[in-house]
Amino acid sequence: MIRINLLPHAERQSKWPVNRLLVVAGCLISLTCSSLYSYSLFQIWTLDNKLQATRTQSQLLQPMRIAMNNANNKQQLLTKKNTLLATITNEHSSLYAMIEHVTKVSSSQIKFTDIAKNDKGFVVIKGWALSYPDIAEFIQTMEKDQFMLESALTSVEQKANAEVTTFELAVKPRGI
């Protein structure tokens, strides 16, 4: 059935408020959607700019990272070397004081060729002198020395072609 409104125009109901409400609601919806779309585009643009800045900064810092890695590797190598050196130094006993003392108590006719420590705690002194009496005097000095516990002549050899006598003396110092 078709309805026909026969009322005069002044008394008829207006259709504009419903149409106006629909138009206004449509405008508000489209405005809201366009605002959300614009905001999303702005956020994407902002994040893209931040990402580009981060990439640029990362590329600029790359040489610094390489230098830091090299420095860390060198530092680790130095630490390993220092640890090894400290371990070796702790295991090695210095004979400097012994050498200094032996050279002070010996005469100028005695020349030393080697001073080494053996496994038994003795210090083996090798050298040469012009004559056997010089060696005997040196041995007596070592026996009377307060820093030596024991001393023993292990070998003496007179070289025929040279006018020197070589010797090897084993001494046990105090405190070693």
Query: What would the pLDDT profile of 9-35 be if each residue is shown by its tens digit?
Result: 777 776 667 777 888 899 999 999 999
* Residue 78 to residues 33, 70, 71, 171, Cα–Cα distance (Å): 64, 12, 10, 39
Distance CA 140, CA 44 (A): 97
Cβ atoms of 129 and 110 within 8 Å: the answer is yes
Query: What would the pLDDT profile of 78-92 be if each residue is shown by its tens digit?
Result: 999 999 888 877 766
158 Cβ neighbours under 8 A, 6+ residues apart: 132, 165
Query: What would the pLDDT profile of 101-129 be if each residue is shown by its tens digit?
Result: 888 888 888 898 888 888 787 888 899 98
**Which residues are registered as beta bridge partners of 88?**
none
List the structure tokens of 158: 């007179």
